[in-house]
Amino acid sequence: MMSSRKFPKIEEGEMRRQEARLPDLAKVAGENAHRRSLQRFGQVLTVQNNQMVDLRSDGSVTVVKTLPPVIKVPTTLPKVKVRLAAKRKKQP
């Protein structure tokens, strides 16, 4: 069932400003989750220098696993010229 909640309309510029804030908001959220995990559970798993490590609230670090090298994936695709096939008219 679709929600009947109405969202306010915003201008394009305002939407772009809000979207531009997303990386910073995500960074802060990740840092907060890391801190809360250490406080609540006393540990957090994270990746440092291609190694999965277990960080403890007492400051100890244990290497859990060495990971394979990171494969960088391009965030944008190269521009490619595309030729559209000419539309052919069927002759009777």
Residue numbers of the domain that contains 30: 12-66
The answer, as to whether pTM is greater than 0.75, is: no
**Phi then psi dihedrals of residue 81, to 5 deg:** -75, 135
Does residue 35 lie within any of the structural domains? yes
Residue pair 47/67 in contact (Cβ under 8 Å)? The answer is yes
Residue 34 has pLDDT above 80, yes or no: yes
User: Encoding tokens for residue 67?
Assistant: 């990971």
Angle at 44 between CA 38 and CA 45, to 5 degrees: 170
Residue 58 has pLDDT above 90, yes or no: yes
Residue pair 34/46 in contact (Cβ under 8 Å)? The answer is yes
Does residue 76 lie within any of the structural domains? no
Number of domains in the chain: 1
Residue 91 has pLDDT above 70, yes or no: no
